[in-house]
Structure 1
């Protein structure tokens, strides 16, 4: 299980990291000192679990958890805090558990078990939905994981799938893909959808064009003026 740890106190981060090291199936992929860093780490590392403090400067833990719910595939959230008065609010944002500091290893083990159960249930529930796009390559078929897709670009009767391994063509319409995967992708103009979680910024050029930066894509993509307000809203939510 891949874990991101967010706490504004360095000693608390170190202590919880030491506790996590006792679990062979847990990999700590990133540490964060506030909610903004936690959201960025989740977007970059796609963890299974976020261990999240509540009282942090800037974006606090509760607000970070609310924003995570807008991710295409958010991690499970376990709050770790010195104050037990937040417990009710924690479960209102779909936290799977609530730990009070100082966290005991036995209590952490129980929280990790709950997170595993939650993730397994979500995976099973999503089993009926597609997790790949299928491209014909010569006489064979290639499956492209959705989480590796950067953007989808309509070209004549095909759609170009730009992903971590290159580009492939699929015989599907951009409209049908938007209807099926609208939670994961957002339209930036009439012929292009981009992965929400890969957006790194929106820049307006001196001549009035809107350019979208994507993690993993070297050159920015141009967005239409009509789509620019929706993109700004997505950036505010990330």
Structure 2
């Protein structure tokens, strides 16, 4: 198999590379030091498998795996971790293979022999069960690459047919995630303003009439003005008042 090693510790990457070389039959085609680099490496190296550390600065391994699962032909993933026993129960429940640090050669060989691909839903459930925080980025698939949008830069999500439009400070992209799931994951940061819209509380700058008896929200540094339904109008006015 073609393998990419992802770990923020150079010594850990070096040890894994040595173990794989000693096993033979496999080739390390790339390395990455964090989740963002992992996404770039997948696009450039087209690996069959990623050995993916979980605890990394920025985009951690669970979040990176969730984004990678959106690709048309994602690599298989084996997590490497120093998680405690309680968190490892979540991995076992999701039938996800993982290697507990320090990694033993025989355990690595066993894991490589039963490599399997993971679904985005499976990784998302694992992320929740392991008590991991909500994602810091949302991934939009553009052709054969992923564009990552910082959650802090997002103004709103708007459901339209089978897709969700994501409006952010840099423009607009489409994502394939249910609005209900986004609302559940980001309930602390986003508020429902319409049956098909979620808006970032941090980016609400005001509200104005739409000229047709309704209202639209003004968002900081985001051009799109999402409509506010009558059902949610009182809640939004209360929120605006609390914001001063």
Scaled by the length of structure 2, what TM-score is found?
A: 0.48
Determine which structure has more spread, i.e. the larger CA radius of gyration. 2
